[in-house]
Amino acid sequence: MISQRGGRARSAAKTAANRAKAAAYWRAVRAGTRPAPRRGRLGLDPASIGRLLADCCRRRGVVLLEVFGPAARGDPCAEVDLIATFGGAPGRLSLTRDEMAAILGTAVHLQTRDSVDSLSNPFRRASILAEARVVFRMP
């Protein structure tokens, strides 16, 4: 058996054993004797996202923070999609994203407003901007 990385991963017997174990697991899930695997779901509404991230936004120079996607609709989701507008130079977005993810306890997809405005797909840009909701505005 060849691994996806291109080298020999394991013996054929080990591969067969792993496949049998996975098949037994999914049979048990379908039969209802074992619960289905679940991704973590975040049940935060947009207002609480804004309250939780307000201090981070002030520290990082974010003057406007918007949420879009399932979190904007109030649906439980595994990650939060955010659009940030910075007052000055944004600095390192990865630091801001990582800090926001630590505060919310889930993955954060952070984009700048300029990057959303310059999306090449006009349908994607329109759908993002149509559902974007402001969760923080610098006074």
120 in the same domain as 59: yes
Q: Quote the distance between the C-alpha of residue 70 and its chain's center.
A: 10
Q: Which domain holds residue 27?
A: 1-37
| CATH number of the domain that residue 98 is part of | 3.30.460.10
Q: Is 60 exceeded by the pLDDT of residue 40?
A: no
11 shares a domain with 50: no
Write the pLDDT tens digit of every residue in 52-105. 999 999 988 899 999 999 888 877 777 899 999 998 877 778 888 899 999 988
CA angle 104, 107, 109 (to 5 degrees): 110
pLDDT digits (tens, 9 = 90+) for 3-22: 555 556 668 888 888 899 98
pLDDT value, residue 10: 67
92, 69 in Cβ contact below 8 A?
A: no
Alpha-carbon dihedral angle through residues 100, 104, 108, 111, given to the nearest 10 degrees: -50
Q: How many domains does the chain have?
A: 2
pLDDT of 39: 60
Q: Residues with Cβ < 8 Å from 35, sequence gap 6 or more?
A: 29
- Tell me, yes or no, if the pTM score tops 0.95: no
